[in-house]
Amino acid sequence: MASHSEDFSINTFIGPHSVLTGDLETDGFTRIDGAVRGSLTVRGRVIIGESARLRSAVSGTAVTIGGVIRGSVLASERLTVLSTAIVLGDIITRRIQADEGCLIHGRVRVCATAEAWEQAVSEYRDAQGVKSALSQFTRRPPLS
């Protein structure tokens, strides 16, 4: 039986003219060619196509990026950043391939062991929790 990362039948597809606002969780192979604003959590392989525009935290097993992501990327097995990609956010992965011409603006953490991966993800989630808690204090009250 094939693992999630070896499954090549697309289970979820967001087309090039689609816009999704909200969090999305999927299993299996997911391809995004449209716009997403919200977290994207995939238990399997993810392809972010060249026309995709995401303002999202992206998490998947094997992630390939060809479009634009403004947010963090967690890839538990591997990350491929194509020459057409722009990643504005932090990356945590076990293996990375970045093609010439891509743009990555953020911290890149490559974890050689499962323990290093778990620690990096735990630290990331702790930091996100702190940012979320602090954001409650920096919001301006509505004008009367």
Q: Is 33 inside a domain boundary? A: yes
Q: Is 144 inside a domain boundary? A: no
Domain range for 71: 4-138
Q: Is 143 inside a domain boundary? A: no
Residue 142: per-residue pLDDT: 63
Q: Is 29 inside a domain boundary? A: yes
| Residue 67 CA, distance from chain mean position | 11
What residues contact residue 114 under an 8 Å CB cut-off, 6+ apart? none
What does the pLDDT look like over 6-62, one tens digit per residue?
556 778 999 999 999 999 999 999 999 999 999 999 999 999 999 999 999 999 999
Instruction: Give the total number of structural domains in the chain.
Output: 1
Q: Is 126 inside a domain boundary? A: yes
Question: With contact defined as beta carbons under 8 Å apart, do 60 and 75 qualify?
Answer: yes
